């Protein structure tokens, strides 16, 4: 894309022209997706990253610090930054999930032990009652 065309595209984008945004997506979608895919090795995550970058670009279009020569650099840097944000978010989620499963495992073990103890106590009481009953019959039979 020529410098004048890039300048015009940026101006149209900043003015809120949807056709300019569509042109931007058409121009950079494949290259940015390929880059995101090399970072993530995950098609769905790469697509999410791209969607977030394009959405943020549209939402903040009036305040974008884009010079004519740096539109492509801006977009690639945005993909990288979004990748880092997703990585940090996923890592935080993984830590929380790990803590959740540890707590869940502990709760299950405690519940199982408590249940086991209750079952054993009930069985023990029943055995004791049966023994007392049997002993009572034997004692009565001797008399």
CATH number at residue 46: 1.10.1740.10
pLDDT at 49 over 60: yes
Mean pLDDT of 108-130: 71
- Mean per-residue pLDDT over the chain, rounded: 81
For the chain, how many structural domains are there in total?
A: 1
**Tell me, what's the pLDDT at 1?**
65
Contacts for 54 with CB less than 8 Å, ≥ 6 apart = 21, 24, 25
- Is-above-0.85 flag for pTM? no
Give the C-alpha separation, 44 to 91, whole Å: 17
Q: Which domain holds residue 8?
A: 3-142
**Tell me, what's the pLDDT at 96?**
66
Instruction: Specify the 3-state DSSP secondary structure of 67.
Output: coil
**Percent of residues, the chain, with pLDDT higher than 90:** 40
Q: Which residue has tokens 């023994």?
A: 131
Query: Which has more confidence, 30 or 129?
Result: 30
Mean pLDDT of 124-131: 77
Taking only the tens place, the pLDDT of each residue in 55-113 is 999 999 888 777 655 888 889 999 999 999 888 887 767 766 666 666 667 767 666 65
Among the ranges given (10-14, 19-23, 47-51), the one the predictor scored with the smallest mean pLDDT: 10-14
Query: Which has more confidence, 70 or 54?
Result: 54
Give the C-alpha separation, 68 to 6, whole Å: 6
């Amino acid at each position: 894309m020529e410098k004048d065309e890039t300048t015009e595209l940026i101006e149209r984008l900043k003015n809120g022209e949807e056709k300019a945004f569509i042109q931007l997506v058409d121009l950079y979608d494949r290259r940015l997706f390929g880059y995101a895919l090399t970072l993530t090795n995950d098609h769905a995550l790469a697509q999410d990253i791209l969607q977030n970058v394009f959405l943020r670009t549209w939402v903040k279009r009036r305040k974008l610090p884009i010079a004519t020569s740096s539109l492509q650099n801006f977009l690639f840097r945005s993909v990288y930054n979004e990748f880092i944000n997703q990585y940090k978010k996923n890592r935080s989620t993984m830590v929380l999930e790990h803590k959740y499963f540890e707590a869940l495992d502990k709760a299950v073990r405690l519940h199982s032990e408590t249940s086991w103890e209750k079952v054993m106590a009930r069985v023990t009481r029943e055995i004791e009652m049966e023994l007392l009953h049997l002993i009572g019959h034997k004692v009565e039979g001797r008399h």
